[in-house]
Amino acid sequence: MNPIVEYQDYHAFLSDYYEERKRTSAFSWREFAKIAGFVSPSYLKDVCCGKTNLSKVTMGRVAAAVGLAGYEVTYFEAMVQFGNAKTDDVRKKFLDQMLSIALEHKVRVVDKDAFEYYDGWKNSVVRELAPIMPGAMPGEIAKMCTQEISALEVRKSLAFLERAGFLKQVGENVYVQTEKSVEGSREGLPLALRSMHREMGRLAIDSVDRFESDERNITGVTMGVDRETYGRIVHELDECRKKITAIAEECNNIKQVYRLNLQLFPLSKEVAQNEEAKDE
């Protein structure tokens, strides 16, 4: 579903959230209400249909139930109060708050014209380093990368990032990001994204030996699942990624660039259910 900052109607946002969960798992209105702590199994269905509204007391519980974090919670609460407002003055107050949050935190979705962004690790790292090193020359940025990159490659990356609108130069060798986050659209860039995932996967393997355990976190679990369970796990991974992005965006004193890989892949082929076992 779309990022929360693209919504101004919390009824529509919750409805889309429910439909997304329902599409990927056996999610129900009863389960949704239970997670949010409501006794009535149909309460949130009535909210999504516009038959009733959330209150200041319940909006925080619902925000937690749908996995919002950081600025997303603030935006959601403002959206609820905007939708429930009785006067134009109050509506304008919360609409202005929503627009301010959306402008500050809107996620950049890369389209086909910015294919180059995902062609390797360099552009994404330079995009993060340049704003926190105001006045730094390309060679200085190159030296701060844990992977090998030349000053010329940094210079080319900066030129691309500025041309494509990922960075804005506001002074001599001083850059700011146009958006705090960048995401690849699911419909576009499949080849570039696969290339980047392969490269980032290789860097993750290298990090096992290159960095001490207090500088990197690598864990894993091997498990048996079916297609429905797989869908539920993918949903949880998506929600986890969004939460982590929101937490990172709250950092106002960035010191280092990190990469998080979320990897879920098969270690076996799908086993057909035994017919005799099905009849027992």
- Sketch out the chain's domains with CATH numbers: 1-105+221-265 (no CATH), 110-218 (1.10.10)
62: its two tokens: 């619902």
Q: What is the pLDDT along the chain (280 residues), one digit of tens a residue?
A: 788 988 989 999 999 999 988 887 888 999 999 999 999 999 999 999 999 999 999 999 999 999 998 899 999 999 999 999 998 889 889 988 988 888 777 666 665 545 678 778 899 999 999 999 999 999 999 999 999 999 999 999 999 999 888 899 999 999 999 876 776 655 445 656 777 788 888 899 999 889 998 899 888 899 999 888 999 999 999 889 888 988 888 888 889 999 999 888 897 888 876 555 445 5
* CB distance 77 to 59 below 8 Å: yes
Contacts 24+ apart (CB under 8 A), 66-71: 66/14, 66/17, 67/239, 67/242, 67/243, 68/4, 68/246, 69/242, 69/243, 69/246, 69/247, 70/243, 70/246, 70/247, 70/249, 70/250, 71/101, 71/104, 71/105, 71/246, 71/249, 71/250
Q: Which among 215, 227, 204, 116 has a CA at the least distance from the CA of 164?
A: 116
Q: What is the pLDDT of residue 191?
A: 58
Q: Is the dihedral of CA 110, 115, 116, 118 positive or negative?
A: positive
CB–CB of 148/199 below 8 Å? no
For residue 189, CA distances in Å to 110, 166, 174 come to: 8, 17, 29
Q: What is the model's pLDDT at position 107?
A: 64
pLDDT at 133: 95
The residues, any chain, with a CB within 8 Å of residue 165's CB and separated by 6 or more, are: 114, 178
**pLDDT in the model for residue 187:** 45
The rounded distance, in Å, linking the Cα atoms of 78 and 10 is: 10
